[in-house]
Amino acid sequence: MSADWVEVRRGGYRDSVTLMRVSRLLSERADVSAAMTAMGTGLNLEMLGRMGFAVPADAGPADLVVAIRAEDGGLDGAREALEGLLREAARAPDGGPDGLLGAPPAPRTTASAAARGEASVALVSVPGPHVFPEAMDALDAGLNVMIFSDNVPVAQEIALKEAAARRGLIVMGPDCGTAVVCGAGLGFANAVRPGPVGVVAASGTGAQQVMCLLDAAGTGVGHVLGVGGRDLSPEVSGRSALAALAALDADPGTELIVLVSKPPAPQVADLIREAARRLDTPVVFALPTPGEDDLTQAVEKALKVLGLPVPQWPRWTAPRPARVPAGRSLRGLFAGGTLRDEAEVIAREALGWDLEARGHRFTDFGDDAYTRGRAHPMIDSTLRLEALADAAGDAACGVLLLDVVLGHGAEPDPAAALAPAVAAALADRSDLAAVVSLCGTRADPQDRDRQAEALRDAGAEVFASNAQAARHAITLVQGPRPEGGGTGGSTR
């Protein structure tokens, strides 16, 4: 027999990465069959209900919800372990509030931290409603700001970027997941070689795809300045993108700039193009919109401008060719918003603009709707794994298209969970195929090639180019092709 325990702790905020780690460690206990610690957002409460727990009606997004299911006699020990894990997560990094291990106490404000050294960038990662004062403190201290947080009101984003412009600084974000400054990666950044390319990115995973393809081609980046996914919206009007373009143009080590964005507002795209024409440094655009270069094509164009050869992009071919009956649908389950957008544009151009009416769907699990109170899917794949199982159980689905994004900050071994899920889905259905876009490098902590081989051995076709992965998935849903057909790219 097992017993459930659910408790709501009012105002008990903890960050989503900490709560995911606590949930995982509790779930690994032999006497615990299910555990969840999360903020009481609607999505988390819905997930709690799917796990079979009684959902507390009075929990809100600012409340910590803890739920444990344990065998008889194990609940007390699990609750004690929970308290220990939460205490450990809250412990001050210097050993105590007064620096008992000899180190000075940790600074309590951004301004006091800035006064301690020669930093030029402050990274802000707090709940969205609390970002504005922290970021303003950093700007007042003379620091450029990278805002990792999402769910920041657009009016506050504009105010911060205008304040930065008055001070000659740059605000990267909000929702800036990736940056590289002077070769140092911030947030979700891949281990890439240094090089002459500077990137302005209104897209985190788009920037990572560009970085990784450049690395695969034998070159690299000096700076990647993320500007936030809304920067090229009509409201924000490219404020940080314009500042980043000017900064990279003034950098003597930058020989070429690649500008990556989620689909921009047309009038803002025109503004950015006009600014780019006035620069001394050439600019290549990678915008996932009809008629524009996709990310892979933009990198290939950048390589040609630099006088470098374009390689065959790595591909790992599954041992069993997939045969999908014509008329089946494509389900794209993405962690990266721009990778999703790019795949959808490619699919619309090939399959028609009424994708949804034909059952094709593309979901970005990194969207704000899925990350409020939860870790990003590049860290916590729970929701996406559930969606994969649901899609595989739908007889109308013929192809699963997924991205896997590696690098610092991302899940340490994504294939450990994803490969068995893919293998299980394909084992149950001979008419189902899986295609994976793998964004990473050999030097990444997860080891790109090891991840690719595990996913390939599970039955997936794996591509280093997201665009090539999307096009291959499309050929599969279009039906069986004669032997000898292919999509190009090297086989590893």
Beta bridge partners of 480: none
Element housing 286 (H / E): strand 283-286
More confident of the two residues 107 and 435: 435
For residue 216, being part of any structural domain is answered with yes
Highest mean pLDDT out of 349-358, 367-376, 479-488? 349-358
**Count of structural domains within the chain:** 3
CATH value at residue 33: 3.30.70
pLDDT at 479: 76
More confident of the two residues 150 and 122: 122
Q: How far is CA 469 from CA 205, 221, 443, 446, 477, in A?
A: 15, 24, 22, 20, 13
List the beta strands (DSSP E) in 355-405: 361-364, 397-405
Tokens of 193: 């070689």
Highest mean pLDDT out of 72-86, 308-322, 453-467? 453-467
The proportion of the chain whose per-residue pLDDT surpasses 70, expressed as a percent, equals 95
More confident of the two residues 289 and 246: 246
Residues 323 and 268 in one domain: no
pLDDT at 102: 55
pTM for this one? 0.83
Residues 164 and 239 in one domain: yes
Cα–Cα dist 131/139, whole Å: 12
Residues 284 and 211 in one domain: yes
Cα–Cα dist 290/345, whole Å: 6
pLDDT at 196: 97
Cα–Cα dist 334/336, whole Å: 5
pLDDT at 216: 98
Range in 170-174, 221-225, 381-385 the model is least confident about: 381-385
Check residue 187 and report its DSSP letter: E
pLDDT at 485 over 60: no
pLDDT at 214: 98
Q: How far is CA 197 from CA 215, 220, 254, 259, 485, in A?
A: 11, 6, 6, 11, 35
pLDDT at 95 over 60: no
For residue 101, being part of any structural domain is answered with no
Tens digit of each residue's pLDDT (9 = 90 or more) over 319-355: 887 789 988 999 999 999 999 999 999 999 999 889 9
CATH value at residue 141: 3.40.50.261
Sheet holding 144-147, edge to edge: 121-124, 144-147, 171-172
pLDDT at 44: 84
- If one counts every other C-beta atom within 10 angstroms of the C-beta of residue 209, the result is 32
The residues near 132 (Cβ < 8 Å, ≥ 6 apart) are 152, 156, 159, 160
Residues 126 and 223 in one domain: yes
Residues 293 and 424 in one domain: no
Counting Cα atoms < 13 Å in the Cβ hemisphere of 321 gives 12
For residue 373, being part of any structural domain is answered with yes
pLDDT at 119: 86
For residue 199, being part of any structural domain is answered with yes
Cα–Cα dist 366/380, whole Å: 10
Cβ(388)–Cβ(333) below 8 Å: yes
DSSP string for 75-97: HHHHHHHHHHHHHHHHS-TTSST
Range in 364-378, 457-471, 475-489 the model is least confident about: 475-489
Residues 414 and 278 in one domain: no
pLDDT band of residue 360 (cuts 50, 70, 90) is very high
Residues 213 and 296 in one domain: yes
Cα–Cα dist 29/76, whole Å: 13
For residue 100, being part of any structural domain is answered with no
Residues 77 and 120 in one domain: no
Cα–Cα dist 468/60, whole Å: 43
Domain boundary among 32, 55, 90: 90
Check residue 189 and report its DSSP letter: B
Cβ(399)–Cβ(434) below 8 Å: yes
Residues 409 and 479 in one domain: yes
pLDDT band of residue 18 (cuts 50, 70, 90) is confident
Average pLDDT over residues 360-386: 85
Domain boundary among 255, 282, 305: 305
Beta bridge partners of 402: 333, 436
Averaged confidence pLDDT in the chain: 90
Residues 206 and 135 in one domain: yes
Burial 291-315, CB ≥16 within 10 A → b, else e: ebbbbbebbbbbbeebebeeeebbb
Q: Coil, strand or helix: which one is 139?
A: helix
Domain boundary among 90, 122, 139: 90
Cβ(446)–Cβ(406) below 8 Å: yes
Residue 17's domain spans which residues? 2-90
pLDDT at 207: 96
pLDDT band of residue 50 (cuts 50, 70, 90) is confident
Compute the radius of gyration of the chain from its Cα atoms: 23
For residue 205, being part of any structural domain is answered with yes
pLDDT at 30: 87
Cα–Cα dist 382/288, whole Å: 27
For residue 97, being part of any structural domain is answered with no
Cα–Cα dist 335/405, whole Å: 8
pLDDT at 297 over 60: yes
pLDDT at 345: 95
pLDDT band of residue 2 (cuts 50, 70, 90) is confident
pLDDT at 395 over 70: yes
More confident of the two residues 286 and 117: 286
Cα–Cα dist 391/424, whole Å: 12
Tokens of 7: 């408790």
pLDDT at 151: 85
pLDDT band of residue 117 (cuts 50, 70, 90) is confident
Residue the block writes with tokens 């990198």: 299
Cα–Cα dist 253/410, whole Å: 29
Cβ(260)–Cβ(202) below 8 Å: yes
pLDDT at 416: 95
Check residue 308 and report its DSSP letter: -
Cα–Cα dist 151/149, whole Å: 7
Cβ(34)–Cβ(49) below 8 Å: no
Residues 282 and 350 in one domain: no
Residues 318 and 282 in one domain: no
For residue 348, being part of any structural domain is answered with yes
pLDDT at 366: 83
pLDDT at 143 over 60: yes
Counting Cα atoms < 13 Å in the Cβ hemisphere of 479 gives 4
More confident of the two residues 289 and 391: 391
pLDDT at 215 over 50: yes
The proportion of the chain whose per-residue pLDDT surpasses 90, expressed as a percent, equals 62
Tens digit of each residue's pLDDT (9 = 90 or more) over 428-460: 899 999 999 999 999 999 999 999 999 999 999
Element housing 347 (H / E): helix 337-351
